């Protein structure tokens, strides 16, 4: 299984914030990981939307880790950011497969995804560092 780049960046942002006392500027994080500030901004916007970070605009602005989220599980974060549509039949709007209901692949992939997330749910955001 491969996580989307956005999910990877969200996790990297949280790691960076923990190492740097909970506060940083997006540019500093982008420079540290040698990644695009624009791509990183998309991840930070998602983290802000979900409440994991608090974003402040302006010359003294930046992002700050929301300490209320340190006990959230990594699995919950990954689920919220990733979306897990591994194959088309996971999305009922796109499911036009003529093999349904005889195909068992969807069930197998669903079990594998649940096992993956179950393992990540054992670990908290605060455990990333």
What phi, psi does 24 have (nearest 5°)?
-170, 170
Q: Which domain holds residue 27?
A: 5-128
**So what's the pLDDT on residue 117?**
92
- Contacts (Cβ under 8 Å, ≥6 apart) of 32: 16
Structurally, the chain folds into a number of domains equal to 1
Number of Cβ within 10 Å of residue 109's Cβ equals 16
**So what's the pLDDT on residue 2?**
81
Q: Which two tokens stand for residue 126?
A: 């605060």
- Hey, what long-range contacts does 114-120 have (CB within 8 A, 24 or more apart)? 116/1, 117/75, 117/78, 117/79, 118/75, 119/75, 120/73, 120/74, 120/75, 120/78
Find the CATH number of the domain harbouring 104. 1.10.10.10
pTM of the model: 0.85
List the chain pLDDT tens, one digit each, 129 residues.
788 999 999 999 999 999 999 999 999 999 999 999 999 999 999 999 999 999 998 777 899 999 999 999 999 999 999 877 666 666 666 666 666 677 788 788 889 988 999 999 999 999 998
């Amino acid at each position: 299984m491969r996580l989307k780049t956005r999910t990877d960046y969200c996790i990297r942002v949280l790691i960076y914030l923990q190492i740097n006392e909970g506060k940083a500027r997006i540019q500093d994080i982008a420079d540290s990981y040698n990644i695009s500030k624009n791509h990183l901004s998309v991840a930070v916007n998602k983290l802000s939307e979900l409440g994991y970070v608090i974003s402040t605009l302006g010359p003294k602005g930046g992002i700050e880790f929301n300490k209320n989220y340190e006990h959230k599980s990594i699995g919950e974060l990954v689920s919220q950011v990733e979306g897990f549509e591994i194959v088309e039949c996971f999305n009922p709007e796109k499911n036009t497969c003529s093999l349904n209901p005889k195909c068992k692949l969807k069930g197998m992939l669903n079990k594998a995804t649940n096992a993956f997330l179950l393992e990540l749910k054992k670990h908290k955001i605060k455990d990333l560092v």
